[in-house]
Structure 1
């Protein structure tokens, strides 16, 4: 058996060396497969998606307008200023990737601003490809003597791409620094932290390569959001798996002299819980494939791939490296054969005694406190973020839009697009002109039996008022068969509606999947129901606190429409991990102890590791707060806070108290074994004094 174990160690190392050599070159190509165009996130059945495809016949495919706005801080512009804007049009038209005629100059009614619209073509990355052209336009107008800004869809796309430039490398370095710091404190070893970090790096590289292949050859949609979320998830989950396996291995090293036998036992005992955790997270994330939004749908396979690769690496390569290094890797606190079991910290012993004495009172008070925190949910406004609210800084596109809306209709530069039968073009124009919120409608253009019109809305794109205008316009044109409305505001409205549909569909599906996995793992119906209830309560509390923090502390103006669903999936799938590890240990100990003793032993033996794992996972998601994007910061704050709540409150107080109060009923319909477990060497000491 010893020789076989040694051969398996070297086989695992060889396998992953080959894997990293084979995939290393592909991982760096993931960024080239991103699609950051909002219309590619919507399903093909969405009305705005259909309009976008047909409008390409008239405006050119994949064309986004950059709106150049000139002003002098409220002063009336002179004839020379207008001549300067007119001269700029020729220079803009000569730029690469400018498609079609440049429109303008249009002088505002008050004479204080000029508007020029530059149509820019984009490539496979979508709207983020506008960055080079927008930079060129901004360089051209610098030093004109006027205040000139580039805004509109292309301006925002360029500023978003600029904000994302270097984000992944910055996030990677910040995440590594956080993980290293926490592992140094947790392990208290100057060398042990290198092994999990090395293995997580292998997992991230292999996962990125696999996802690139899926994006390039299987039609998987990948965007900037999913790429940076993949980084923090792989680091967080992978480090958690390493912590849990290391803790059980260290425990077995005190009971066995042969480190290979100790590792085999550690994997046999901790492996099922780690596997259940990985499967729970992966399947929960894969539930997102039923979503309408492609950006949400793709998140599932991307994140699930990262988690499963994490699991494969951390349960094969990591234990192989750990056992190969020997006990010295734990220096200066290397466990020796025959060392006594640690009794846990003083605060944990005090908390355990309180829970043992009054378990029902403890869980009732804890649940009530979480319910109070959840009240903040009433202040969560997740109806989408306006373009100017998506940044934590104030990019030029935001400044330009503020000038634009002061002097022009809010929808200028990003008109609503109307498609209908060519024979009904004039009727469509007349109907659209009568819709409240529409200030101008273009003459219809006809191609291939289709009519195309542009309607300028009075309100800014992505505003609630603009959404109402889209709804009214669609209702007014409903009498014309085949008539459809698209454009920026319509895309945003369809995205919001799809997000609501996805939330209502995915949430019950994820809860069902998690319950089923827990029932299989624990062979019980009561225990998984209890665990799921505690995680949902914890999720509500985390969202409630987040809603208050977003408005009162961080100054955010609402939340992205996808925020509640993405946070739900992350927190339910990741948050239940800690309850899985705790409940699996309670179940193991319950075969030879009463419910209270089994719970105390499980809490004592897992508390330090689960707390450290929670801090690591929270730290990796908190790294998202360093990014300049509101959506990333919101996800990072909510998931980090929720994970800490699960690790320090739900797993430490709520779940143990419920387990003690329920007693043997927790394992219904399983009956307690009448004979003690035969593995007497694994019996842990009883309740600590």
Structure 2
């Protein structure tokens, strides 16, 4: 890599004069202020070294601490929901410290179980129980006693039998996955030929989720790094330059993972596998975008001065405010998730906001310091030369902007209906996925659950749980047995704290609309029993509560996101009409992307429906990240309008930012699509939807719609202010 000294020496060669040559070494009146001072700190000869050493020391300190385990699946159960309260009360029962996994035995040929099969199933049940209870040591031991209390339950058709395997509630994440693996290993030995066993139920689903995420962070990091590396190499056309932003952003991502894990744990919201994946994508995407913007302006300034540190300092002064505004917008939008009822949503808000702040620090402090040390030669073989022509009024991007400016109403008449048609893709798509539809990988818990559905009556595979005060148990049980949609209600004991519990078998398939309707009706009936404090829980009730909470979060958080973004735009542009136009265009783009993503997921990728959380997360990322590019564009448009006026300023802004914003959009879209390497359909759907939306925003909204809107409205977009270039007295006279 060329040294700074060599680069400076080469930059002092005489260059051919160009249109900007008169500005060489001429003091810029705007070389002042906070960003100018910060630029001097991070680009100075010795201060750049110190900045880099401090950054590496802080990162090394975090690396030495490490991060806690984050392999658990997402927690979608609302804290104050009725199903959550039922689970808390169930912990007070004798078996409350455990959650049942279900072992289901069948023959591979689909035939009826023989007496030998049932005997082998009983022996297998005992071995599975011994994993948690300890090895059997003789008659009368705990394992023997437990086995007698866990009978085999044959199916009505005689082709299956089940046994409950209690798993400690203390086991989560990788520890739970290890325990379930041990139970499955114990079940798979000494089975007669043709007899198979599958372990399903809540703990098995949790273990399979944790197992699916095992190693997923590394896969995501490798694939993301490869995608970013290829795109940066294409963008910069340099065998060296692409390494710098990639290494800096990769370092920021690792710091973000550790910092967010500890911060989330400190506030009682421990990370899960899906959150770490989304956070990595955001850090890589946003960090690379910041780097692209800074390096692009750095290259531009190198055409105006032979001193690379001065060029870098000016580049940071010009791009820093836009990067900061962009980052603050996304961070504040993410923090609106803290008002959500669903824990995994709040977890994402804290973790992703922390990650974005790490990306900002890397882009503003570490990256400029590295660029300052590397020098101008980092751009080899296409090293910018002093006096190279100004691209602001030339090139294909300027030609496109001119075409939009000539027919802005025609452009809007075509693009706005097109976006509206894309939004219609959401109609007819099923919202909400069953638990068995969440995985993109094969899982024994799903296969076992489907086996239960095949051989047992509807609802018996996953019964509901009802709790009530013991002194009203008779009235509650009478209501349960007489309720429509209830096939059976079996008492399962009482607690010392005065609660009674029932397992209630519904006559509807688990996670079906009929099951949700039955749960709602059952809650209405048991709530009506005086002083019973009866509540309905279980998997169907929990999923129903999660969906209701997700709907409420969507209606509550979407206005907050739009409000936060609008306030940031008001503060940044100090104008009224411009921010309103920008938020309207961004919102339409986001809705269009969600519709297009839903249609593509259903009709192209074959997903059974759209997971509820995808709507909120996709809207959040599309609005917050889409405004990123809008901020990059309009801040440059305002800068150009000061000299050239708004009509010409917006065209020059498109020309000057077209390449970098397009590259940034392609990188960000590609990085989000990489979420598809993770095992949950939800993450794949978010990746597809946001990827489509970023491309729409990059190639349609930012390139066509916003320039057309600014052309139609004219200088009034900056009202009540007015750029100097739009004032008649300040406009240069024609040559």
Bucket of the pairwise TM-score, normalised by the shorter protein: over 0.9
Tell me: CA distance 1:673–1:344, structure 2 relative to 1, closer, same or farther (3 Å): closer
Match of 1:311 among 347, 351, 360: 360
**CA displacement 1:466-510 (0-9 Å, x = unmatched):** 212211211110122311111111111111111011101100011
Contact 1:184-1:190 at 8 Å conserved across structures:
yes
> Secondary structure of the residue that 1:360 maps to in structure 2?
helix
Match of 2:438 among 390, 413, 418: 390
Q: Partners of 1:345 and 1:261 in 2: how far apart? A: 26
1:444 deviation in Å? 5.0
Contact 1:429-1:444 at 8 Å conserved across structures:
no
**Cross-structure match for 2:89:** 54
In the TM superposition, what are the counterparts of 1:624-639 in structure 2 within 5 Å? 624-639=675-690
1:344 deviation in Å? 8.4
1:125 deviation in Å? 2.7
Structure 1 stretches lacking a partner, 5+ long: none
Q: Partners of 1:243 and 1:344 in 2: how far apart? A: 21
Q: Partners of 1:155 and 1:679 in 2: how far apart? A: 72
1:218 deviation in Å? 2.6
Tell me: CA distance 1:339–1:89, structure 2 relative to 1, closer, same or farther (3 Å): same
1:675 deviation in Å? 8.5
Tell me: CA distance 1:336–1:59, structure 2 relative to 1, closer, same or farther (3 Å): farther
**Cross-structure match for 1:614:** 665
Q: Partners of 1:97 and 1:359 in 2: how far apart? A: 74
Q: Partners of 1:373 and 1:97 in 2: how far apart? A: 56
1:59 deviation in Å? 5.2
**Cross-structure match for 2:99:** 64
Tell me: CA distance 1:197–1:344, structure 2 relative to 1, closer, same or farther (3 Å): farther
> Secondary structure of the residue that 1:432 maps to in structure 2?
helix
> Secondary structure of the residue that 1:315 maps to in structure 2?
helix
**CA displacement 1:445-472 (0-9 Å, x = unmatched):** 2222111222122334322222122112
The reply on whether 1:412 has 2:460 as its aligned counterpart is yes
**Cross-structure match for 1:399:** 447
**CA displacement 1:312-336 (0-9 Å, x = unmatched):** 1111110111021111000000111
The reply on whether 1:274 has 2:323 as its aligned counterpart is yes
The reply on whether 1:435 has 2:473 as its aligned counterpart is no
Contact 1:123-1:129 at 8 Å conserved across structures:
no
Match of 2:626 among 575, 579, 588: 575
> Secondary structure of the residue that 2:152 maps to in structure 1?
strand
**Cross-structure match for 1:302:** 351
Mean Cα deviation higher: 58-67 or 342-351: 342-351
Given the two structures, how large is their TM-score scaled by the length of structure 1? Answer: 0.93
Q: Partners of 1:206 and 1:75 in 2: how far apart? A: 55
Tell me: CA distance 1:135–1:679, structure 2 relative to 1, closer, same or farther (3 Å): farther
Q: Partners of 1:241 and 1:420 in 2: how far apart? A: 56
**Cross-structure match for 1:90:** 126
1:185 deviation in Å? 0.1
Q: Partners of 1:674 and 1:251 in 2: how far apart? A: 22
Contact 1:167-1:627 at 8 Å conserved across structures:
yes
**Cross-structure match for 2:247:** 198
1:358 deviation in Å? 0.6
Mean Cα deviation higher: 387-396 or 582-591: 387-396
Contact 1:65-1:413 at 8 Å conserved across structures:
no
**CA displacement 1:330-387 (0-9 Å, x = unmatched):** 00001111111236886434422321211121122111111111111213322x2112
Structure 2 stretches lacking a partner, 5+ long: 1-36, 135-142
Given the two structures, how large is their TM-score scaled by the length of structure 2? Answer: 0.88
Mean Cα deviation higher: 335-344 or 503-512: 335-344
**Cross-structure match for 1:75:** 111
**Cross-structure match for 2:61:** 22
The reply on whether 1:503 has 2:554 as its aligned counterpart is yes
Q: Partners of 1:61 and 1:678 in 2: how far apart? A: 80
Q: Partners of 1:24 and 1:495 in 2: how far apart? A: 36
1:438 deviation in Å? 2.1
Q: Partners of 2:322 and 2:517 in 1: how far apart? A: 50
The reply on whether 1:8 has 2:47 as its aligned counterpart is yes
**Cross-structure match for 2:513:** 464
RMSD: 2.4
Contact 1:35-1:221 at 8 Å conserved across structures:
no
Q: Partners of 2:445 and 2:272 in 1: how far apart? A: 21
Tell me: CA distance 1:37–1:312, structure 2 relative to 1, closer, same or farther (3 Å): closer
The reply on whether 1:603 has 2:654 as its aligned counterpart is yes
Tell me: CA distance 1:354–1:677, structure 2 relative to 1, closer, same or farther (3 Å): closer
Q: Partners of 1:656 and 1:114 in 2: how far apart? A: 67
Tell me: CA distance 1:534–1:392, structure 2 relative to 1, closer, same or farther (3 Å): same
Mean Cα deviation higher: 174-183 or 365-374: 365-374
1:48 deviation in Å? 1.1
The reply on whether 1:105 has 2:152 as its aligned counterpart is yes
Tell me: CA distance 1:572–1:124, structure 2 relative to 1, closer, same or farther (3 Å): farther
1:53 deviation in Å? 0.9
Q: Structure 1 segments of 4 or more deviating over 6 A?
A: 1-4, 674-680
Q: Partners of 2:388 and 2:164 in 1: how far apart? A: 75
Contact 1:178-1:619 at 8 Å conserved across structures:
yes
Contact 1:230-1:302 at 8 Å conserved across structures:
yes
Larger Rg: 2
1:34 deviation in Å? 5.8
1:619 deviation in Å? 1.1
1:251 deviation in Å? 0.5
1:641 deviation in Å? 1.0
1:623 deviation in Å? 0.6
Tell me: CA distance 1:257–1:289, structure 2 relative to 1, closer, same or farther (3 Å): same
Tell me: CA distance 1:290–1:679, structure 2 relative to 1, closer, same or farther (3 Å): farther
1:627 deviation in Å? 2.5
Q: Partners of 1:574 and 1:258 in 2: how far apart? A: 34
1:140 deviation in Å? 3.5
**CA displacement 1:553-580 (0-9 Å, x = unmatched):** 1111112221100111111100111111
Contact 1:416-1:487 at 8 Å conserved across structures:
yes
> Secondary structure of the residue that 1:110 maps to in structure 2?
coil
Q: Partners of 2:70 and 2:600 in 1: how far apart? A: 35
The reply on whether 1:377 has 2:447 as its aligned counterpart is no
> Secondary structure of the residue that 2:178 maps to in structure 1?
helix
1:129 deviation in Å? 4.2
**CA displacement 1:576-634 (0-9 Å, x = unmatched):** 11111101111111122232211110000000000000011111111112223211110
1:674 deviation in Å? 7.0
Contact 1:179-1:620 at 8 Å conserved across structures:
yes
In the TM superposition, what are the counterparts of 1:513-662 in structure 2 within 5 Å? 513-662=564-713
> How many residues of Structure 1 are paired with residues of Structure 2 in the alignment?
676
Q: Partners of 2:458 and 2:210 in 1: how far apart? A: 24
Q: Partners of 1:237 and 1:552 in 2: how far apart? A: 30
1:413 deviation in Å? 4.6
Q: Partners of 1:665 and 1:150 in 2: how far apart? A: 66
The reply on whether 1:446 has 2:494 as its aligned counterpart is yes
**CA displacement 1:105-124 (0-9 Å, x = unmatched):** 11111212111121111436
Q: Partners of 2:568 and 2:133 in 1: how far apart? A: 52
Q: Partners of 1:327 and 1:75 in 2: how far apart? A: 75
The reply on whether 1:183 has 2:235 as its aligned counterpart is no
Tell me: CA distance 1:3–1:58, structure 2 relative to 1, closer, same or farther (3 Å): closer
> Secondary structure of the residue that 1:592 maps to in structure 2?
helix
Contact 1:117-1:413 at 8 Å conserved across structures:
no
The reply on whether 1:118 has 2:154 as its aligned counterpart is no
In the TM superposition, what are the counterparts of 1:152-163 in structure 2 within 5 Å? 152-163=201-212
**Cross-structure match for 2:14:** none
> Secondary structure of the residue that 2:45 maps to in structure 1?
helix
Tell me: CA distance 1:119–1:430, structure 2 relative to 1, closer, same or farther (3 Å): same
1:435 deviation in Å? 2.0
Q: Partners of 1:518 and 1:358 in 2: how far apart? A: 27
